[in-house]
Copies of this chain bind each other. A is one copy, B any other.
Amino acid sequence: MVMEDIVKIAEEMVKEQKEISVSEFFEKNRHLLGYDNPTRALLTVVKELVDNSLDATEEARILPRIWVEVKPNGVDRFEVMVKDNGPGLTDKQIPLTLGKLLYGSKFFKLRQSRGTQGIGGSGAILYSQLTTGKPTTIISSIGNGKTSYYELMIDVKKNEPEIVSHKLIEDGKIWHGVKIEMEVEGRYVESRQSVPEYLKQVAIANPYAEIIFEGPNSRLEFLRSVNEMPPLPKEIMPHPHGIELGILRRMLKSTRSRTIASFLTNDFSRIGIGTAKEICNLAGIDPRISPQRLDIGDSEKLFKAMQKVKLIRPPTDCLSPLGEDLITKGLQKEFKAEFYTAVTRPPEVYRGNPFQVEVGVAYGGELPQEGPVKILRFTNRVPLLYQEGDCAITKAIITTDWRRYGLAQSGRSIPVGPAVIMVHLASVWVPYISESKQAIASYPVIIKEIKLALQEVGRQLQRHISGKKRMEMQQRRREIFDRYLPEVANAIAKLTNKKPEPILNKLMSMIKKSTEVIVDGRGKEETGNAG
């Protein structure tokens, strides 16, 4: 090829390059946000809005009360409304909060929350306008006697809010909260992966929330079973063992601390002045110099020294686990089983992010005998309904040997039996396999923790099942005795030449005593059983 042609081609190719906005990217890749089919899309819209409402109310320490409406409007079209009693959004902030992707406050905080990405709410609006061409209505007040009314769309090319209409009315009404109404393409079902199932699971993991659902076919009310909220998780500083060199370099440049020593103690968790000096010593850096003065070589020395020093684990008040009691109660409320148990593991760390695993199990009773066990997956109190097969929770379950704990299982598959397994991962940063946040990425340390929790509840389950089996065996033995006892008594009576009745009575009381002991033994193993 002639060189002049190459120059032309290269220049031509350059002309076609341009910036792709985040909105354009996710509009085209809408399956990444959970909008790949109409059934899932409707669920995703409700989920994103409810998650935001729960986060907002909890952060403002208000007991959540959330209204959800899904009304059909033609074939495969629905009007969705979600309203909360949260603190509301200020008039000025509404357009950016909901009309721009990648905008929010939770991304930068090391603290457990449902949303983090600043994509959820705006993603729902993006999906609404993509499928119906219509704006979304947002009504909000922060309790100052004024109400904001917005009709909002997203300017996809710019990833900026497009305000179709806006009013701020001083109506004197004193209320606080956000009400969002949008029209979307979707399909409504009531089966496994559905809006009612999602809300039911939300109620299990958030028993302090009141949720009223007005669906196309029915009205559901999930009332509070607890009137107190869990403590608000605290924001923490990054742990030195979890950061990366590139992030450290950026922190060094932008810190307000004047010396390396104060930078280390102020901008990280778990570094006191002694440790800061030890790190500087290891790195051969003067602790009194300015962080901005560190070049790339020094930064790397500092980074390596930070990895070498022994440190206690990150603080864990940034987490808000459900707790064993709440898990057991949640399972009892929803499933009629004969045995319940739960385990909350101590916090662990992956890439510097604290996380905590909890597992609950319900077994027997009215749970279906046939088919695989029911799996309930949660992250930061949010139920996950899709991509079960791709999730670290499922991978941990299928690689656990359940035959050991009394359930049937063939190879590496979901165990079979009358059981529900509930797993909750609480973390300041959950690594999801995609932006739709329906499955946890398979980090080995996370899978390991889940398996440890599963094994703990597994052992309790095994004790229950084997106790039950022992009792059944004892029952059968007793029945046999009962059947033959009169004959035995007669035989003894003949041999000893005594009356058979006293002998029979004596034999019967002996048998009764021995089986009672077994029943008591079983009773002791079922701590936490209220079924």
A interface residue numbers (CB < 8 A to B): 1, 3-4, 6-7, 9-11, 13-14, 16-22, 24-25, 27-29, 31-32, 36, 56, 59-62, 87-90, 92-93, 96-97, 100, 102-105, 107-109, 117-118, 129-134, 142-144, 156-157, 174, 176, 244-250, 296, 299-300, 303, 387, 389-390, 429, 431, 433-435, 441, 443
7 pairs, CB–CB < 8 Å, chain A vs chain B: A13-B59, A17-B93, A31-B433, A130-B246, A131-B244, A133-B245, A133-B303
B10 touching A142, Cβ below 8 Å: yes
How far is B105's CA from A130's CA once the two chains are assembled, in angstroms? 23
Q: Which residues of B contact A107 (CB under 8 A)?
A: 20, 24-25, 28
Q: Which of B59, B90, B434 contacts A11 (CB 8 A)?
A: B90
Q: Interface centre among A89, A92, A103, A250, by most B CB within 10 Å?
A: A250
Q: Which of B18, B143, B299 contacts A105 (CB 8 A)?
A: B18
Q: Which residue of B lies closest to A88 (CB)?
A: B10
Q: Which residues of B contact A88 (CB under 8 A)?
A: 6, 10
Q: Which residues of B contact A434 (CB under 8 A)?
A: 32, 433-434
Q: Which residues of B contact A131 (CB under 8 A)?
A: 244-246
Q: Which residue of B lies closest to A140 (CB)?
A: B10
Closest CB of chain B to A165's CB: distance in Å? 13
Q: Decide yes or no: A18 and B144 within 8 Å by CB, A28-B429, A130-B247, A244-B131 being known contacts.
A: no
Q: Decide yes or no: A6 and B87 within 8 Å by CB, A20-B117, A434-B434 being known contacts.
A: yes
How far is B108's CA from A157's CA once the two chains are assembled, in angstroms? 12
A130 touching B11, Cβ below 8 Å: no
B14 touching A93, Cβ below 8 Å: yes
Q: Decide yes or no: A142 and B103 within 8 Å by CB, A130-B246, A434-B433 being known contacts.
A: no
Q: Which residues of B contact A20 (CB under 8 A)?
A: 102-104, 107-108, 117-118
Q: Which residues of B contact A89 (CB under 8 A)?
A: 10, 14
Q: Decide yes or no: A102 and B22 within 8 Å by CB, A60-B13, A93-B17 being known contacts.
A: yes
Closest CB of chain B to A75's CB: distance in Å? 11
B102 touching A60, Cβ below 8 Å: no
B142 touching A11, Cβ below 8 Å: yes
A143 touching B90, Cβ below 8 Å: no
Q: Which residues of B contact A387 (CB under 8 A)?
A: 390
Closest CB of chain B to A148's CB: distance in Å? 11
A17 touching B143, Cβ below 8 Å: no
Closest CB of chain B to A317's CB: distance in Å? 19
Q: Interface centre among A62, A130, A133, by most B CB within 10 Å?
A: A133
How far is B131's CA from A1's CA once the two chains are assembled, in angstroms? 40
Q: Which residues of B contact A103 (CB under 8 A)?
A: 17-20
B1 touching A31, Cβ below 8 Å: no
Q: Which residues of B contact A429 (CB under 8 A)?
A: 28
Q: Which residue of B lies closest to A90 (CB)?
A: B14
Q: Which residues of B contact A433 (CB under 8 A)?
A: 31-32, 390, 433-434
Q: Which residues of B contact A32 (CB under 8 A)?
A: 433-435
Q: Which of B17, B246, B390 contacts A97 (CB 8 A)?
A: B17
A133 touching B249, Cβ below 8 Å: yes
Q: Decide yes or no: A300 and B133 within 8 Å by CB, A10-B87, A17-B103, A433-B434 being known contacts.
A: yes
Q: Which residues of B contact A61 (CB under 8 A)?
A: 1
How far is B11's CA from A92's CA once the two chains are assembled, in angstroms? 10
How far is B46's CA from A175's CA once the two chains are assembled, in angstroms? 56
A60 touching B10, Cβ below 8 Å: yes
Q: Which residues of B contact A56 (CB under 8 A)?
A: 13
Q: Which residues of B contact A105 (CB under 8 A)?
A: 13, 16-18
A6 touching B129, Cβ below 8 Å: no
Q: Which residue of B lies closest to A295 (CB)?
A: B133
Q: Which of B133, B174, B176 contacts A299 (CB 8 A)?
A: B133
